[in-house]
Amino acid sequence: MRIPIAHQGYPFIGLGLMATALFVLLGYTPGWVIFGMLTVFVVAFFRDPERQPAGGDKTLLAPADGKIILIEEKEMSPFSSARTIKISIFMSVFNCHVNRVPQKGRVEKIVYRPGSFYSADQSRASSENEQNALLLKTDDEQEISIIQVAGLIARRIVCWVKPGQKVARGERFGLIRFGSRVDLYLPPAVRLRVQRGDKVKGGLTIIGTYD
């Protein structure tokens, strides 16, 4: 039976449990209370529940849990000169940080870029922070870009897919450790079903639909 925790969290959880047990053995209450609480937080952060993707083939899912902090039209997408709709989702340390594929298709490109670590809710985070960009081409030739952006505390972007790989709606493709942001770039023909300030869940919330 699958444990609903991303395996990247196992080392942190193990360290937390060992530290908690050590302070219990030493009889030092403040120590085991603090490390016990930290371990609970780490378990919650790396949680990875099973989710059944919502909607049908013409719906686009949220790639991450969090709050929509930006929706705007852009003249260019990250991988082409085509117009696009940019949606930014901010993930706090309390959100599930596993990222999911918004629509089935094929991973065309993956481009990693080192950078700064400004707070992920700042606008300059999209252009200056460390990030990992995926170009996804859907089965009906729509192009979608998903950008994993590191934040002030997040210093590790994890991507589990590779160029050429076929992916399904709601499939896990990566995570970002300890607070971050995901920028989603959609074709301008997409009819959005969310607005700024909405809270969304990766693989469950329908971002928009298209013909």
pLDDT digits (tens, 9 = 90+) for 113-153: 886 766 666 667 667 778 899 999 998 888 999 999 886 65
For residue 93, the model assigns a pLDDT of 80
Catalytic center residues:
180
Alpha-helix residue ranges (DSSP H) falling in the chain: 10-26, 29-45, 125-128
Instruction: Determine the straight-line distance between the first and last CA of the chain, rounded to whole angstroms.
Output: 39
Structure-token pair, residue 4: 């609903």
5-37 tens-digit pLDDT: 888 888 888 999 999 999 999 988 999 899 999
Amino acid, single-letter form, for residue 65: D
- Which contacts of 21-30 are long-range, i.e. CB under 8 A and separated by 24 or more positions? none
DSSP label of 38? H
**In 159-191, which positions are buried (b, 16+ CB within 10 angstroms) versus exposed (e)?**
bebeeeeebebbbbbbbbbbbbbbbbbbbeebe
DSSP label of 129? B
For residue 6, the model assigns a pLDDT of 81
Angle at alpha carbon of residue 74, lines to 69 and 80, rounded to 5°: 120
Record the pTM.
0.85
Alpha-carbon dihedral sign for residues 92, 7, 203, 130: positive
Confidence of residue 179 (pLDDT cuts 50, 70, 90): low
